[in-house]
Amino acid sequence: MQALLVDLGAGQIYQEKFDLALGRFLGGRQFVSHWLAQEIDPACDPLGCHNDLVFAPGLLAGTHVSSSNRLSVGGKSPLTGGAKEANAGGVMALHLASNRIGAIILRGKTRPLSLVVIEQSTATIQACPDLEGKGVYDTSQVLRSRFGPDCAFGIIGPAGERSDAMAAIAFSDKDGQPERFAGRGGLGAVMGSKGIKAIVVRKGQGLKATRQLRELAKRVAQVAQANSVITEFFPVVGTAGTLEMVDEVGGLPVRNFRSGRFEWAGRIGGKALRETLLARGGTCGHACMPGCVVRCSNRYVDRDGKHVVGPLEYETIALLGSNLGVGDLDAIARLNRFANDFGVDTIELGGALGVALDCGLGDFGDTERIEELASEIARGTPLGLILAQGAAITGKVFGARRVPVVKGQAMPGYDPRAVKGNGVTYVTSPMGADHTAGNTIGCDVDHADMAGKPELSRNTQLRCALFDSLGLCEFISYAFNDDPEPFLALARLHLGDDVDLPTLLDQGKRTIMNELRFNEACGLGSHTNRLPEFMYTEESPPLGVSWGSPPRAFAGFWQKD
C-alpha cells in the first residue's frame, strides 16, 4: 500500500510504502490508529505543527462492493484531546483507491490558504486565497468548475479555517454534493490549522473489476437485499426512522437531556420526514456512494421543492431538533444547512446549543433565537466563538453542570440512561461520546437495563473498529450478520487465504488498543470512562431511569482484553 506524506511546511511530498499484511494494519481506522500510536506526539497541541491529519480509505475501497467506500479521517482531536477517527461516506475513499493510495497524511502547516491536489498518484500544494472564508457549498462549486466532475473533494468551511473545535470536513457524494461529513472531534479545525481549505483527488484508473471481484460484489448485494432492515428500513425512512424507536424507549435527547421523550416526535421522525419528502418531491433512498444497496440517504427540499440539505439524518434531527425543543423539520433542515455550509458537526452544534439554552441564553423551541445563536457563530462574536468550541467549553464558560459530554465530546442522540448499551460505548470508547463507535440501538434488547450491555457494547465496538478499517458502512453489517462469507472472501483477496473471522475481529481489537494507548499518553486514561455527574444523580423522565452504575464501574473495561 502506498501512502502520501504531504509535508506542508517543507512543501515536499513523500511516498511511503506500507505492508498490508495482517499484524500491521488493514486500512481506514486501523491505519489511523497505527499512525497515532507511531507518529504523533500525544502531548502535542492538536492545532499546533506537530499534529498530523490522516485520510485513509478502508481496505475494501474500490472493490465495487456495496457500501465499502467509507473513508477514515484521523489525528489528535482538538475537542477531546485524544485519538480521533471520524468516518465519512461519499466518493473520496473510492477515488483514493482508484489511485492506489492507501492514505494521505498532512503534516505541518502552510500559508496562504491552499489546496492539496492529488492527480496521477502524486500531490501538489496550490494556493487558493480566493477561497478564504467561503462556505462549503460555494467552495464545492468553485472546485468543481475548476477541477471538473471527476474529482472528489474534502472541504472545510469557515469554522475549520478558524479552527473551531466543532469544525468538520465535508466530502462530496456520488452526485458531487459536499454533504458527507467526517463530523466528529473537530478534525476540520486540524485541517484549518494546517492552512488547507480542501483536498482534491482526481479519479484514477481504479482496480480492475475482475470476475472474482464482480462475483463477490454480487454475492454481498444478494445477502444484503435478503435482509429486511436493509430493504425496508434504510431506503424507506433512512436513519431518521431511528427517532421513533429511541423516543419509544425514552432515550431521545430532549431539551438538553432533560427528558427522553418528545411531545413532537411525530412531527420530526422518519415517517414525517418521508411524507414531507414525498409530498414535496424530495428524495428518499438516496445513495451516497456508487452501487450502495442500503441507500439510507435523502435529499431534503423546502416547500418550493428547492434543495435545502441532504441527508437529513437521525442524529441531526435529534440534536438540532428535540434536544433544542424544536419540532419542525424545516427549521431543523435550515440549521443543518447552516452547519454544513459553515462546516461544523451537527451533533456538537446541537450539544452546545442545548447547553446554552439550558443556561438561559434562549428558550427551548425558539427557532428564531436558535438561528440567531447560529448567526453569532458565523459572525465570530465572543458568544459565537464560545459555542463553536463545542458543548464542553460552552458549559465551562457559562458555568453549567448539566453538560452532556464524555471526554469533552457531545453525546449523540441516545440518552445513556435509557439506552445503556450506547451509554457503555460513550463511556468506554476511545472516541468519547460517539454512537458510531458502537451503536446498540438496533439490537432487540431491553435498552434501559444494564444487564448484558457491557458485553453488547464491547462486541459492537470491536466490530465497528473492524468495519471502519475495512471501509464498510456500519449499515451493511446487518448483511454481514446474516452471512459473513462474501466479506471474508473479499478480505482474503487482500490479506491471504488464512484469514478467518476471529483473525479479522482481532484486528478490531488491535485498533482500539492503539487508540487507548494514545489516549492514555494524552492524559485521557480510564479515569475519563464516565458520564457527566448529573447523569448519576438525575433520573431521566419519563422512564425514571438513572445510569445506575458507579462512576468507576467502567475504568477497567478494556483491561481484560
Indicate which single residue of 171, 486, 532, 554 sits in contact with its own copies (rule: CB under 8 A): 532
Q: Whole-number minimum distance, CB 285 to its own copies, in Å?
A: 41
The DSSP annotation for 145-198 comes to HHH-TTEEEEE--HHHHTT-TTB-EEE--TTS---EEE-GGGHHHHHHHTTEEE
CB-side neighbour CA atoms (13 Å) of 493: 22
Question: Helix 453-470 crosses helix 28-39 at what angle (to 10 degrees)?
Answer: 90
By CB under 8 A, residue 17 contacts its own copies: no
Beta strand spans in 355-401 (E): none
By CB under 8 A, residue 401 contacts its own copies: yes
| Among the listed residues 20, 21, 15, 19, the one whose alpha carbon sits nearest the alpha carbon of residue 3 | 15
Q: Whole-number minimum distance, CB 70 to its own copies, in Å?
A: 30
By CB under 8 A, residue 46 contacts its own copies: no
By CB under 8 A, residue 553 contacts its own copies: no
| Span of 98-106, 316-324, 384-392, 429-437 interacting with its own copies by CB under 8 A | 384-392
Cβ closer to its own copies: 39 or 41?
A: 41
By CB under 8 A, residue 23 contacts its own copies: no
Q: In whole angstroms, how far apart are CA 93 and each of 162, 345, 437? A: 26, 20, 19
Indicate which single residue of 10, 130, 527, 546 sits in contact with its own copies (rule: CB under 8 A): 527
By CB under 8 A, residue 513 contacts its own copies: no
By CB under 8 A, residue 162 contacts its own copies: yes
Cβ closer to its own copies: 233 or 257?
A: 257
**Contact 28/96 with Cβ under 8 angstroms?**
no
By CB under 8 A, residue 405 contacts its own copies: no
- Cα 157 to Cα 326: distance, rounded to the nearest angstrom: 25
The answer to whether the bond into 542 is cis (omega within 30° of 0) is yes
Cβ closer to its own copies: 385 or 505?
A: 385
By CB under 8 A, residue 163 contacts its own copies: yes
Cβ closer to its own copies: 126 or 546?
A: 546
Total interface residues for its own copies by CB under 8 A? 37
| Cα-to-chain-centroid distance, residue 83 | 14
For the chain, helix (H) and strand (E) counts, in that order, are: 23, 17
| Span of 25-33, 430-438, 509-517, 525-533 interacting with its own copies by CB under 8 A | 525-533
Q: What strand order describes the sheet that includes 2-7? A: 12-17, 2-7, 101-107, 52-57, 71-76, 83-88
**DSSP character at residue 229:** I
Q: Whole-number minimum distance, CB 251 to its own copies, in Å?
A: 23
Indicate which single residue of 24, 396, 494, 517 sits in contact with its own copies (rule: CB under 8 A): 396
Cβ closer to its own copies: 48 or 266?
A: 48
Cβ closer to its own copies: 168 or 293?
A: 168
| Span of 31-39, 321-329, 397-405, 455-463 interacting with its own copies by CB under 8 A | 397-405
Beta strand spans in 304-448 (E): 307-309, 405-406, 409-410
Indicate which single residue of 381, 446, 451, 500 sits in contact with its own copies (rule: CB under 8 A): 381
48: left (phi over 0), alpha (psi -120 to 50) or beta: beta
By CB under 8 A, residue 383 contacts its own copies: yes
Question: Helix 329-342 crosses helix 270-280 at what angle (to 10 degrees)?
Answer: 90
**Contact 508/464 with Cβ under 8 angstroms?**
yes
Indicate which single residue of 16, 45, 263, 446 sits in contact with its own copies (rule: CB under 8 A): 45
| Span of 52-60, 118-126, 382-390, 439-447 interacting with its own copies by CB under 8 A | 382-390
By CB under 8 A, residue 112 contacts its own copies: no
Indicate which single residue of 165, 221, 309, 472 sits in contact with its own copies (rule: CB under 8 A): 165
**Contact 87/72 with Cβ under 8 angstroms?**
yes
Cβ closer to its own copies: 127 or 521?
A: 521
By CB under 8 A, residue 44 contacts its own copies: yes
Q: Which residues bind its own copies (CB under 8 A)?
A: 41-45, 47-50, 162-165, 381-383, 385-386, 389, 393, 396-399, 401, 521-525, 527-528, 530, 532-533, 551-552
